[in-house]
Amino acid sequence: MANTQEIKQRIELCARELSEEFGEVADSDALSWLDAVETQAVAIGDAVTAELVKQKSADRPVENESTCPKCGKLGRYKGQRPRVCNWRRSSRRRETSKRSPK
């Protein structure tokens, strides 16, 4: 692993470059300028995280994975879980393998 000072310098350079690409901080909708900077930093961090996960998981098998219908990201199957079914007059817990009453 590289020297921590070297890594810090590379992170600073990368953050500066990405910040320039993302553009000026838009503080008109934020509570404060610092809040706007933090929002931009989170967006940059999320983009870097997504790319890193994609790169690191490219060589892993895709077994037991599925995509989210809302965001399209991959997830792992963790088994069935109890769900709450809301009927007109009551709520009941049931396992996902059971069918709802007709």
Ranges 14-28, 38-52, 62-76, 81-95: which has the least confidence: 81-95
Write the DSSP string, 41-85: HHHHHHHHHHHHHHHHTTTS--TTEEE-TTT--EEE------EEE
H/E stretch holding 5: helix 4-22
Q: What is the pLDDT of residues 8-20, one digit of tens each?
A: 999 999 989 988 8
Q: What is the pLDDT of residues 29-69, one digit of tens each?
A: 778 888 888 888 898 899 889 998 888 877 776 666 677 77
Rounded CA-CA distance 30/37 in Å is 9
pTM: 0.51
Tokens, residue 10: 């590379």
| pLDDT at residue 99 tops 60 | no
Q: Radius of gyration of the chain from Cα atoms?
A: 22
Give the number of other Cβ atoms within 10 Å of residue 34's Cβ.
11
Rounded CA-CA distance 42/35 in Å is 11
pLDDT computed for residue 87 by the predictor = 65
CA 83 centroid distance within chain: 24
